[in-house]
């Protein structure tokens, strides 16, 4: 359950407030679960929220380096695990990369990733219709889902010259 009246109408191209938003949300999630957003967890989340494109684990370690010293891989992987478990970060299987969650949704809710082949941006979408359709399908075949991540590859509206929403082509 989320009772946020948070405005999601921000422009993805210039998401400068991304990290601050994400950290504020993470603090709330952690507080409500009695978990702690340690400094390394916060840093990992901020680095992902700052990036418009998904970030691989090793690139993430480079970005987190301070005075030329990268954090130990195990430290970063543990922080990622925590963030994944709490639904603050998603892992994009096809790219083996991570991205901060844009939304407040249930950790097991279906998520649709729209992956642009041209600019590499990945945006996250959710749809009640897709969620309903998917759970009906799973019930029908008796499959218990561990995660429900749908990846759609293609070209984003920006790269298509802003024609994304043009009706009838
Ligand atoms: Zn999400
Ligand atoms: Zn694009």
Give ion ligand 1 contacts, CB < 5 A: 101, 103
Over the stretch 8-25, which tens digit does the pLDDT of each residue have?
444 444 444 678 888 998
User: pLDDT digits over 96-148, tens only?
Assistant: 999 998 777 776 788 899 999 999 999 998 888 999 999 999 999 999 998 88
Q: Which CATH number fits domain 18-154: 3.40.50.300, 1.10.10.10, 3.40.50.1000, 3.30.420.40?
A: 1.10.10.10
Instruction: With cut-offs at 50, 70 and 90, classify the pLDDT of residue 62.
Output: very high
* Res 92: pLDDT: 92
- What ligand is nearest to the CA atom of residue 100? 1
> Do 72 and 79 contact (CB within 8 A), yes or no?
no
The structural domains of the chain, with segments of one domain joined by +, span 18-154
Report the chain's mean pLDDT, rounded to a whole number. 85
DSSP 124: E
pLDDT score at 14: 42
Q: Which two tokens stand for residue 149?
A: 């991540």
Assess contact for 101 and 90: CB atoms under 8 A. yes
Distance 13 CA to ligand 2 centre (A): 10
Q: Given the DSSP bridges, would you call strands 97-100 and 89-92 parallel, antiparallel or unpaired?
A: antiparallel
Q: Is it the case that residue 159 has pLDDT exceeding 60?
A: yes
Ligand nearest to the CA of 8: 1
């Amino acid at each position: 359950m989320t009772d946020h009246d948070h405005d999601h109408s921000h422009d993805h191209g210039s998401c400068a407030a991304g990290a601050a938003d994400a950290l504020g949300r993470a603090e709330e999630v952690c507080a409500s679960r009695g978990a702690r957003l340690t400094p390394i967890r916060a840093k990992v989340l901020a680095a992902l929220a700052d990036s418009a494109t998904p970030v691989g684990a090793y690139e993430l370690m480079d970005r987190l380096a301070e005075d030329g010293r990268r954090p130990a891989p195990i430290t970063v992987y543990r922080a990622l695990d925590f963030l994944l478990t709490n639904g603050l970060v998603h892992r994009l299987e096809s790219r083996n990369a991570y991205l901060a969650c844009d939304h407040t949704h249930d950790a097991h809710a279906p998520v649709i990733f729209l992956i642009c082949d041209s600019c590499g941006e990945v945006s996250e979408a959710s749809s009640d219709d897709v969620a309903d359709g998917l759970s009906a399908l799973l019930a029908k075949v008796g499959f218990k889902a561990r995660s429900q991540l749908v990846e759609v590859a293609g070209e984003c509206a920006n790269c298509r010259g802003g024609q994304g929403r043009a009706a009838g082509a």
